[in-house]
Amino acid sequence: MAVTFKETYGLFIGGEFTPALSGETFDVFNPATGEKLAAAAKAEAADVDRAVKAAWSAFPQWAAMNVRDRSELLWAISDIVEENLEYLTEIETLNNGKLLREARCDIEDVVDQFRYFASCIRSGEGSYVDQGDGNFNILKREPLGVVGQIVPWNYPLSMACWKIAPAMAAGNCIVIKPASSTPLSLLIFAELVQSVIPAGVLNIVTGGGGSCGEALAAHPDIRKIAFTGSTAVGAKIGAIAGGNIIPSTLELGGKSAQILFPDCQWDRALDSVCEGILSNAGQICSAGSRAFIHADIYDEFVQALTERFQAVKVGNGMDDESEMGPVIDSHQLEVILDYVTIGKAEGARLATGGNRKCGGDFDKGYFMEPTLFADVTNQMRIAQEEIFGPVLACIRFTDEKEVIDMANDSPYGLAGSVWTQDINRGIRVAGAIGAGLVWINAFGLYPAGTSFGGYKKSGYGREAHKTTLDSYSQMKSIFVATAE
């Protein structure tokens, strides 16, 4: 299927596409070329209210659907996505800028998430608690109702479906807001599955975070809010949810550590460190942006990283030869460049990169050189603050305790990795790192069933695991007294 975009995409409410009540739209661009791709409806509070009402209208019938039928419906969605995998891959690349191979993995993950949660609900069971004297409790889980979801621009469709799949599986109806810079893949996903999902079960509102997003988070008829994005915005979302006495799931920022011991498998570790910070141009909350390298191999490993960074072919994600695409927009590019200035001022050594890619087609988009800082200390801002770009800070360590202390000396705790052929040390260090997900001799693998979520300012709650169903449901206890 050739990728063609409509001139304008409406809001998806009650199973139909509809304009915003104001009639206003905003433009959506390709970050690699600056080309306008389409326009999307600009939702305000009144539009969010329409979507919430449509979701509540659909809820009774959806919640009452038996588990087998709901599971089969989720499988049907996954089949449709799989059938349109290459189509959705190109849409994601055009709107987000990431490489085709990266976008393809994202869409494959969407298929996996729907199938995983479709299977999980078929194996779900309640419980029985004997209270003595013929009395007992039946414990069951019930859906929350209508849930609100807000997703970021770095993984537009896969992050959305990390939330949509478990929420639907648990029997909830959804109002979801994609990032205003990358709404197209989610809207086109809705077009593709429109005939399968009952009207009102999934509703999509597009618009700015300050109007549409806040209206969704604060809506009095929302029973849960799930948010992925910056820690600063997440704090506001959590406060709003707390004020409304509803649960929230927050997947926020990160400053993940990749720890390399002298006995690491050199080539695999080198590949992983590069992939961990250069994938999606470093715009990943769990990006391995701090490389802790043992003093015995530090100089040699940093030199190998420098050569690898310099050899990376930066270009349009639609070009199969490209190895890193653009960042999302001019604002994010300026943020990254500001951090390069900060790193140099702090005394870190800029080993390579640090500049915007210019000339020719680069001038049309937002391309950044792969950037590596050496001789970084863990107290520097470039080692403590989330940059959200292809910038790696290389930090030297000498022993196990020191590196654990430094890895944990961070406001974040999302992910990390340990590279060593000593499995005892690997498990010991992984266990000591204060992060929600730690890989040993790997980085950046997120198959369905891998619990994902953070400690500290990286947020709370877990996604991509069957326990996510618990966060989209509530427990009911039915006490039965059998005495005559």
> Which residues are identified as catalytic?
251, 285
Q: Map the chain to HEC letters.
A: CCCCCCCEECEEECCEEECCCCCCEEEEECCCCCCEEEEEECCCHHHHHHHHHHHHHHHHHHHHCCHHHHHHHHHHHHHHHHHCHHHHHHHHHHHHCCCHHHHHHHHHHHHHHHHHHHHHHHCCCCEEEEEECCEEEEEEEEECCEEEEECCCCCHHHHHHHHHHHHHHCCCEEEEECCCCCCHHHHHHHHHHCCCCCCCCEEECCCCHHHHHHHHHHCCCCCCEEEECCHHHHHHHHHHHHHCCCCEEEECCCCCEEEECCCCCHHHHHHHHHHHHHHHHHCCCCCCCEEEEECCCHHHHHHHHHHHHHHCCECCCCCCCCCECCCCCHHHHHHHHHHHHHHHHHCCEEEECCCECCCHHHHHCCCECCEEEEEECCCCHHHHCCCCCCEEEEEEECCHHHHHHHHHCCCEECEEEEECCCHHHHHHHHHHCCCCEEEECCCCCCCCCCCECCEECCEECCECCCCHHHHCEEEEEEEEECCC
Mutual angle of helices 423-432 and 400-408, in 10-degree steps: 30
What gap in Å lies between CA 225 and CA 14, rounded to an integer?
A: 20
C-beta separation of 410 from 382 below 8 A: no
Q: Would you state the torsion angle of the CA atoms of residues 466, 206, 37, 79, taken in this order, to the nearest 10 degrees? A: 30
Exposure of 292 in the CB half-sphere (CA atoms within 13 A): 28
Q: What is the chain's length? A: 484
